[in-house]
Chain A
Amino acid sequence: MDGRRTSHWWTFWGVLILAWAAFPLLWMVSLAFKSPATFRSSSGFWPKEWTWENFQTVFRDELFTSALRNSFGISIIATLLSVIIAMFAAYAIARLDFRGKKLLLSMALAIAMFPQAALVGPLFNMWRGLGIYDTWIGLIIPYLTFALPLSIWTMSAFFRQIPWEMEQAAQVDGATAWQAFRKVIVPLAAPGVFTTAILTFFFCWNEFLLAASLTSTNRARTVPAALSFFTGASQFESPVTAVMAASVVVTIPVVVLVLLFQRRIVAGLTSGAVKG
């Protein structure tokens, strides 16, 4: 009896959390469906008339479509590279005994705390010197750097939980450390790698400061930067509803990933500490 009542209470609080998370999203959807001509004068929460106009606007706008392309491309490539590089490092950390380990971990920590804003000036100057300003690679490189700590930690935590005796068994059977890594550990590590990839992707998908400073055209501008530079029909009109429509579009991948991989993401963020 008591237990059931408590359980109802937890459900109640759970519903509150749901509302807390969902409410701003509803506002975003509502604004995205309001008419750009009348949204200022009709300030209710929901649109009086629902319209697809804003979505048509953003998909007609090359600023947005190319930003989507850039965002997907840059985020996916940076994620892939980061996961690959981090995988080697995480293996070394979880498995091998070498002097650089402490240095590597401390450095990852330092970079996770690093204020990116301190880099925009020098990076901009270096990139224009190297000719990679406003290119994909110019964003991928710093994204790689700032995603690496996250990738290394998440993955090394996952790697630690792998039953290493299997690797040792393989080594006893005559395999080298490399073969043991590739044949035994990679399949076991795949879920951890995948989770790391999702978290890293979120990071790259979200990044704004570097994207705003190191790009200037549709060639490499990603979605967050494009949103902040979104322009209205004329120089002075502010495209509030179109920005929200674009926001809805770019939130969809996040929601899909979260829906599909909720358990993995939670496990990744808490590094396997949550059981059940």
Chain B
Amino acid sequence: MTVIETPAAAQVAKEATGGAGEPPVSDRLRHERRLGWRLSAPAFVVMILVTAYPLGYALVLSLFKYRLTDPGARKFVGLQNYLTVLTDPIWWSSFVTTAVITLASVAVELVLGFGFAWVMFRILRGRSLVRTAILVPYGIITVVSAFIWRYAFQLDSGFVNQWFGLGDMNWFGDRWSSLFVITLSEIWKTTPFISLLLLAGLVQVPEELLEAARVDGATAWQRLWKVVLPNMKAAIMVAVLFRTLDAWRIFDNPFIMTAGANDTETLSILAYRQNVTLVNLGAGSSVSVLLFLTVVLIAFVFIKGFKTDLSQVRGDR
């Protein structure tokens, strides 16, 4: 989902534009500004139309008791829906489930993804083969991945129990084993993405620094912690931020595997169920708004708390 812009590329761009500080003819500047607005106007419109407006609409709906199939009973209830949602164990259970999946998958993916990036960086024979292979999980439909893993762990037709001698273990009959399989599918599908981002960071680590450290007698472990990782910090933080927010929205995998049974419902499934299945648009909209706020909160923590440098992602010069 994201793009890391390398300092080197930014540098090139800066040089190429040549003396941005040099005052151009004011007529041309005005023209340039107008052109900039015009060129980006369609993007603005499309992005606002489908997010800001519906979100505002959800904000309004969330103040009503309103069920689509019982329109006569619609009435204004103020913040009652928010109170209901926030005091309901279902919201908090979904919150915990989502948090567990997010933490587990991001942590594993970070380690695994780094390993993959390292292999892709160093491997000589078959480099393009490995990169091709790793792109298949990235490109595959998440629903398909969910089905593959679900059927693999299925009690009567899967191979996992047979291979590992687990007998009648019912993976989807318990919260934690279900979450394990869901997280596994999520990890399989999204590790390639994180590993490519990390690879992009890895190639930025100056080879001279590594060489110098080697000459100084640093062990591989020391080189990793003292040279490689500090130089990749920006890439790692950006990768973690994006994967965290992506995992926080997880819907496809649990929806296909358990449909939320055994407390495996995530916040996205909760929002979907309230709005789409139960057509309970009042309470459903308050869930939507709260879900949005959690995302804002996470992004805020990353950006302010961990000082994630987003100018690299946003492409600010």
Contacts and interface: CB of A to CB of B under 8 A. Distances in A.
Contact, chains A and B (beta carbon distance below 8 A): yes
Nearest to A7: B124
A89 interface: yes
Interface in A85-139: 85-86, 88-89, 91-102, 104-109, 111-126
Contacts of B196: 266, 269-270
A247 interface: yes
A43 B5 contact: no
Interface in B1-54: 1-6, 8-10, 12-13, 16-18, 20, 29, 31-33, 35-37, 39-40, 42-44, 46-51, 53-54
A184 interface: no
Interface stretch (B76-84, B210-218, B291-299): B291-299
Contacts of A254: 136, 139-141
Contacts of B193: 269
Given A10-B119, A118-B271, A262-B128, A113 B136 contact: no
A157 B274 CA distance: 40
B92 interface: no
B1 A11 contact: no
A39 to B, nearest CB: 5
Nearest to B192: A21
A193 interface: no
Given A13-B119, A118-B292, A266-B131, A160 B9 contact: yes
Given A10-B124, A96-B39, A209-B252, A274 B203 contact: yes
Contact of B9 (A99, A257, A258, A271): A271
Contacts, number: 371
Contact of A43 (B43, B142, B156, B203): B156
Interface stretch (B100-108, B147-155, B175-183, B223-231): B147-155
B1 A265 contact: no
A102 B284 CA distance: 33
Given A98-B32, A157-B9, A227-B143, A164 B17 contact: yes
A214 to B, nearest CB: 9
Interface of A: 6-7, 10-11, 13-14, 17-18, 20-22, 24-25, 27-28, 31, 39-41, 43-45, 85-86, 88-89, 91-102, 104-109, 111-126, 141-142, 144-146, 148-150, 152-154, 156-157, 160-165, 168, 177-178, 202, 205-206, 208-209, 212-213, 223-224, 227-228, 240, 243-244, 247, 250-251, 254-255, 257-259, 262-263, 265-266, 268-275
Given A144-B50, A160-B315, 17 more contacts: A21-B133, A43-B157, A96-B39, A98-B36, A104-B40, A111-B47, A122-B285, A154-B3, A164-B17, A168-B18, A213-B272, A251-B144, A254-B136, A262-B132, A271-B5, A273-B8, A274-B199
The 5 closest A-B pairs by CB, nearest first: A98-B36, A121-B275, A270-B200, A117-B268, A160-B13
